[in-house]
Structure 1
Amino acid sequence: MTLLIRGGTVVNHDDSFRADVLCDNGVITAVGSDLEVPTGAEVIDAGGQYVIPGGIDPHTHMQLPFMGTVASEDFYTGTAAGLAGGTTSIIDFVIPQPGQSLLEAFQTWRGWAEKAASDYAFHVAITWWDDSVHDEMSTLVREHGVNSFKHFMAYKNAIMATDDILVASFTRCLELGAVPTVHAENGELVYHMQQKLLAEGMTGPEAHPLSRPPQVEGEAASRAIRIAGTLGAPVYVVHVSTRDALDEITYARRQGQPVYGECLAGHLLIDDSVYRHKEWLQAAAHVMSPPFRSPEHQAALWTGLQSGNLQTTATDHCCFCAEQKMMGSEDFTKIPNGTAGIEDRMALLWDAGVGGGRLSMQDFVAITSTNTARIFNLYPRKGVIRVGADADLVVWDPNGTRTISASTHHMNVDFNIFEGRTVTGIARHTISQGRWVWCDGDLRAERGAGRYLQRPAWPGIFDVLKKRAERTAPTPVAR
């Protein structure tokens, strides 16, 4: 299929310019002024609008088995909803049970993802350790194109990675050229606080943020960063929600350490007052980890994006319907953790970021697409509009508006944490693999059209890191 996007302003992370964009066979083949219309090509009029790289969400959980249930969104419904909002690629998570083969879990998730409507990749979680995990990490990197591994520092007695696992896995990541990522919360402290609150009779959603105060995130971020720094490895901290964690990232980056931070649209825009809603279900709908925070932490996160100390934005899209949330009606620790957002992330960040004067258009492209592509080695196939890149594009109307609601969204969940918010700046057209799949309310997502994205390892960059670590190592003393 040949598609010409005519008359728009192309916005990349580093530039913007008036140009037409020609796509053929799923790839961008020309970017320039007044391109001729090839015979039989479909034309999209982008006059007065921006043409931006398709969004990449680096943190989703489709169809996740978690806390005694399964997330309501599967790989088709979730990626289709993403396309409606301008997200054309996701990086989801394979989460093996402790003791389970990483490769076995990976193949299970690959099977679930065959129905995806957009392109996808996987991080793989390290939830336990022995020699087989060490060996299978190599197979995942070299044969399956996995170049990032996730470590949950929370969820004691389930999938929590202890310090010895972090040390072993970070070391292996460094050897393989893979990026270690961490969910930074001190699992021991969280568990202690949960039991303390329950013993005091606090069983409702209002106890959730109290069991996970900012300090537990700051401590875990500091610990993970210092472990990585000692080993000479990089580290990527997911869903940063507090000034505490951001301060640790900022300090490490100022010392030259390769540390990267991700924040969620929800943490930027929703504060912790939601947990005190008079209706139990409204409060429970917002239970996720880390929880939403007070406004001063939100302000810090915006500063982190503006300064470049936070590089990416995500959703942690993990949907549980009202009936599932009710599993924790007697005990807040049993409320399935997760909220939705894949359809709304791009519009929310444009509205509050660009529209709110906090971000430039180029910043918006960087934090919604380009930086993720760069960190996880999808660039320049993804994250940029240039010849040879995948034709994953969005025609963005900066003046278009919509009101977010569960009654109109495409996500498979029966509430929306951004319910009733009107945003200015929306996707008019979404183009995936060179064909339009969304146009002004017409969603033409195709089950199974998504491709698995292999992401090569980073041997060159990691060689530099190893040499840096060797230079700073003490000289052995002769005996």
Structure 2
Amino acid sequence: MKAYDMVIKNGIIVTATDVYKADIGIKNEKIIEIAKEIDSNSAGNVIDATDKYVFPGAIDVHTHLDMPFGGTVSSDNFETGTVAAAYGGTTTIIDFALQSKGESLKKALEIWHNKAQGKAFIDYGFHIAITDMNDEILDEMKELIKEGYPSFKLFMTYEGLRVNDDVLLKALLLAKEEGGLICVHAENFYIIDYLVKKFIREGKTHPKFHALSRPTIAEWEAVSRAVKIAQFANAPLYIVHLSCMEALKEVTYARNRGLPIMAETCPQYLLLSEERYEEEGFNGAKYVMSPPLRSSEHLQALWEGLKCGQLQVVSTDHCPFFLKGQKDLGKDSFDKIPNGAPGIELRLALLFSYGVMTKRITLQQFVEIISTNPAKIFGLYPQKGTIAIGSDADLVIFDPSIERRVTKELLHENVDYTPYEGFRITGLPVATIVRGEVVIKDGKLVGQKGYGKFLKRKNLMVV
């Protein structure tokens, strides 16, 4: 008889390709057996998942924990942020280590490792955000790809962060040769800069002018340009937080021609529209993020993009700031409002409720976009992103019968609001398991601070 650390009984297992009922046996952090029935008498822990789904642990490849921005720092750190993630069914995050001007990439990583060390409840990795490129940095990129840091982010906008097209080209060429991946925040700096200055000059300082200063054409143009530079370099490219139908058309056109272009969107761009900026007083600042929320026709186009496989991932871009004490730094002018919003905890519940339950996506597509594709693209598959023998025992037991109305009080994110206040959700995680250890069970935190480990990554895949 096999001995197990844990057996999950009677669950409905869902992967990117299959749905079936089976038991799961776990030993030494790994899945060691999947069978119709497993004798659990020798198991240290038995969890009954009758009438519940068992998903591979969700992977959020776009978070900003403890990140300096706009004169303040995002309000979730690696302790509070990973707790909230675990409550929502996320077992791995990939955060962004941001290079400062004149700083080496290794220094940026050292800073972010110190932020995370001993705090995380779930596993984590780092992308490196490059803001100051030179030949030494290019050499560092080669070295770091070999050391398990294969993904890099470049900004095409933001004064002080953005890079020029020649830097993007150099990075793409190097990543192609060394087996890395370039991710881009694609918005046209000059269009945005012109409109921001114009609106301020005209006294138009309300939060809604943040959105008006970042029109869809700014994103469309930058995505188009990035795709063409990647095509010239013959390199894969990953577009972060895509928000509009025009940009999606550029990605779709490129993919239909066989180019290795991939893109993510986020729940806010699927569920929230630009009318939110008209909320009373300063409340529109809750939704100041970049890119901004779009009109409702864009939401439907993005859902179609997910259904058709032209968008590969739904991440959160979780970057929370308190409305009182942080967002109100921009009380007098929208351009001073810290960009970002919370979302790390509700991703699975929202996508299940408004995607699976409305038949916009299937259960298997749901797993694909929240777990399997992120694992494949960013070098974690099959260690993570699936339910298979030999994979990490990262699992989410999800009860589809639970119904809730979203309130800030329901959540564990360290911020004073949620953009999804009042949303009705059907289905919530009831247990989150990371490498065979229960972190969340029946609404209670039972995991250990510091249990989450850093993940080196390799073998990136184009999907």
Per the normalisation by structure 1, the TM-score is: 0.94
Is contact 1:126–1:169 with CA below 8 Å preserved after alignment? no
Distance 2:230 2:103 in 1: 25
Distance 2:27 2:405 in 1: 34
Q: Could you tell me which of 399, 402, 411 is aligned with 2:401?
A: 399
Distance 2:442 2:289 in 1: 31
Offset at residue 457 of structure 1 (A):
4.7
Paired residue type of 1:349: L
Offset at residue 38 of structure 1 (A):
4.5
Offset at residue 422 of structure 1 (A):
1.9
Q: In the alignment, which residue of structure 2 is the partner of 1:82?
A: 85
Distance 1:427 1:363 in 2: 18
Offset at residue 401 of structure 1 (A):
1.7
Q: In the alignment, which residue of structure 2 is the partner of 1:69?
A: 72
Is contact 1:176–1:457 with CA below 8 Å preserved after alignment? no
Paired residue type of 1:124: I
Per-residue displacement from partner, 1:190-234 (whole Å, max 9, x unpaired)? 111100111111111010110000000000000000000001001
Offset at residue 174 of structure 1 (A):
1.1
Q: Is structure 2 residue 309 aligned with structure 1 residue 308?
A: yes
Deviates more, 1:263-272 or 1:130-139: 130-139
Q: Is structure 2 residue 445 aligned with structure 1 residue 452?
A: no
Map of 1:19-418 to 2, 5 A cutoff? 19-114=22-117, 115-143=119-147, 145-155=148-158, 157-280=159-282, 282-322=283-323, 323-418=325-420
Distance 1:429 1:443 in 2: 10
Offset at residue 445 of structure 1 (A):
3.3
Distance 2:368 2:438 in 1: 23
Is contact 1:128–1:165 with CA below 8 Å preserved after alignment? no
Equivalent position SS for 1:326 = helix
Q: In the alignment, which residue of structure 1 is the partner of 2:18?
A: 15
Is contact 2:437–2:447 with CA below 8 Å preserved after alignment? no
Paired residue type of 1:379: Y
Distance 2:446 2:62 in 1: 24
Offset at residue 153 of structure 1 (A):
0.7
Distance 2:294 2:389 in 1: 42
Deviates more, 1:251-260 or 1:419-428: 419-428
Equivalent position SS for 1:275 = helix
Equivalent position SS for 2:345 = coil
Distance 2:38 2:239 in 1: 43
Equivalent position SS for 1:398 = strand
Is contact 2:121–2:439 with CA below 8 Å preserved after alignment? no
Offset at residue 273 of structure 1 (A):
0.4
Equivalent position SS for 1:370 = helix
Change (3 A) 1:38 1:26: farther
Per-residue displacement from partner, 1:36-56 (whole Å, max 9, x unpaired)? 115242111111111110100
Paired residue type of 2:61: P
Distance 1:65 1:393 in 2: 32
* Unaligned residue ranges in structure 2 (runs of 5+): none
Distance 1:106 1:435 in 2: 27
Distance 1:149 1:292 in 2: 25
Distance 1:135 1:230 in 2: 22
Deviates more, 1:256-265 or 1:406-415: 406-415
Per-residue displacement from partner, 1:251-279 (whole Å, max 9, x unpaired)? 00011000001000111000000111122
Is contact 2:206–2:334 with CA below 8 Å preserved after alignment? yes
Per-residue displacement from partner, 1:315-370 (whole Å, max 9, x unpaired)? 10001002100100111111000100111000000000001111111010001100
Offset at residue 187 of structure 1 (A):
1.2
Paired residue type of 1:82: A
Per-residue displacement from partner, 1:62-109 (whole Å, max 9, x unpaired)? 000111111110011101111001000001101111221111011110
Per the normalisation by structure 2, the TM-score is: 0.97
Paired residue type of 2:94: I
Paired residue type of 1:230: F
Distance 1:97 1:122 in 2: 16
Change (3 A) 1:38 1:25: farther
Is contact 1:83–1:445 with CA below 8 Å preserved after alignment? no
Distance 2:27 2:447 in 1: 19
Distance 2:433 2:424 in 1: 24
Is contact 1:141–1:457 with CA below 8 Å preserved after alignment? no
Report percent identity of matched pairs.
44
Distance 2:137 2:335 in 1: 30
Count of residues in correspondence between the two structures: 457
Equivalent position SS for 1:407 = helix
Equivalent position SS for 1:93 = strand
Paired residue type of 1:314: S
Could you list the runs of 4 or more consecutive aligned residues of structure 1 that deviate by over 4 angstroms after TM superposition? Answer: none
Paired residue type of 2:55: I
Change (3 A) 1:97 1:389: same
Paired residue type of 2:178: L
Paired residue type of 1:319: P
Paired residue type of 2:194: H
Equivalent position SS for 1:59 = strand
Distance 2:95 2:345 in 1: 15
Deviates more, 1:326-335 or 1:30-39: 30-39
